[in-house]
């Protein structure tokens, strides 16, 4: 376990996690703000909060996500922002987990209309991983590639600024995978269901796909 913790404590790993978390939070907040009625409906659909708290929660959450996302991307108040993001991601994981135990199936609304993903084990695992990532950033809060380094003047012992660029590109790749992979899996599931329906439909009519050919051959 120590080698893993040592790796997570590295400046480059910290920057990667911070950028991914910031990007996800910013996207989640902005997309929810763009479709406020849809998000209020999504909050009600989870059936977690009392009805009187659903509207305030749906109003405040997108602004909180957007603010924390910007702070993490800029690396400003990193430890505080990540500390607030940790229980936020945990609440998402708990909401998904509760509805999974209930046997319910609906869109998780994690990133508004940008992504369509049913609640399920992939969404739960991703939320859990984000909880751990936010906790790691909150604990170590490296100033590498962050405005915190400028504000606090703590640049001693940090890698060269040029090394920020490849980490930014890697963070963009990880971000794209986290957003696009659920979409890919969703489309794959849709095609699989459609294929099963097509096969079941062709088999339920009582005719083998090559029945007409076999009948013609037997007649001759």
Q: What tokens were used for 1? A: 């376990």
- Decide: helix, strand or coil at residue 73: helix
Alpha-carbon distance 102 to 81, whole Å? 32
Give the 3-state DSSP-derived string for 88-121, with helices as H, strands as E and coil as C: HHHHHHHHHHHHHHCCCCCECCCCHHHCCCECCH
CA-nearest of 171, 176, 175, 168 to 145 is 168
- Number of domains observed in the structure of the chain: 1
Instruction: Name the pLDDT band for 132 (thresholds 50, 70, 90).
Output: very high
pLDDT at 180: 76
User: Model confidence over 35-66: pLDDT tens digits?
Assistant: 999 999 999 999 999 999 999 999 999 999 99
The mean-pLDDT minimum among 91-95, 129-133, 145-149, 150-154 falls in 150-154
Environment class of residue 181 by beta-carbon count within 10 Å: exposed (0-12), middle (13-18) or buried (19+)? middle
CB 29 within 8 A of CB 109: no
Q: What tokens were used for 78? A: 């990193």
Q: Please, what is the average pLDDT of the chain?
A: 85
Alpha-carbon distance 8 to 51, whole Å? 40
Q: What tokens were used for 148? A: 């915190």
Could you list the residue range(s) of the whole structural domain that residue 13 is in?
Answer: 2-219
Instruction: Name the pLDDT band for 178 (thresholds 50, 70, 90).
Output: confident
pLDDT at 215: 45
Model-wide pTM > 0.85: no
Quote the percentage of the chain above a pLDDT of 70. 80
Alpha-carbon distance 113 to 45, whole Å? 16
DSSP code of residue 163: G
Instruction: Name the pLDDT band for 111 (thresholds 50, 70, 90).
Output: confident
Q: What angle do CA 101, 106, 107 make, to 5 degrees?
A: 125
């Amino acid at each position: 376990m120590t080698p893993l913790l040592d790796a997570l404590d590295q400046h480059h790993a910290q920057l990667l996690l911070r950028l991914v978390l910031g990007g996800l939070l910013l996207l989640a907040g902005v997309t929810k703000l763009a479709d406020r009625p849809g998000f209020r409906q999504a909050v009600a659909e989870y059936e977690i909060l009392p009805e009187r708290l659903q509207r305030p929660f749906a109003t405040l959450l997108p602004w909180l996500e957007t603010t924390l996302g910007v702070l993490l991307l800029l690396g400003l108040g990193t430890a505080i922002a990540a500390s607030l993001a940790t229980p936020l991601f945990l609440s998402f994981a708990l909401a998904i987990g509760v509805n999974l135990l209930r046997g319910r199936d609906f869109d998780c609304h994690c990133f508004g209309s940008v992504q369509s993903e049913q609640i399920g084990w992939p969404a739960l695992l991703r939320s859990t991983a984000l909880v751990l990532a936010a906790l790691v950033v909150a604990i170590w809060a490296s100033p590498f590639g962050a405005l915190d380094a400028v504000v606090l003047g703590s640049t001693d012992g940090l890698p060269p600024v040029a090394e920020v660029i490849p980490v930014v590109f890697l963070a963009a790749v990880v971000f794209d995978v986290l957003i696009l992979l659920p979409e890919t899996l969703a489309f794959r599931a849709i095609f699989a269901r459609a294929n099963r329906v097509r096969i079941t439909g062709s088999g339920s009519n009582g005719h083998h796909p090559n029945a007409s050919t076999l009948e013609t051959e037997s007649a001759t």
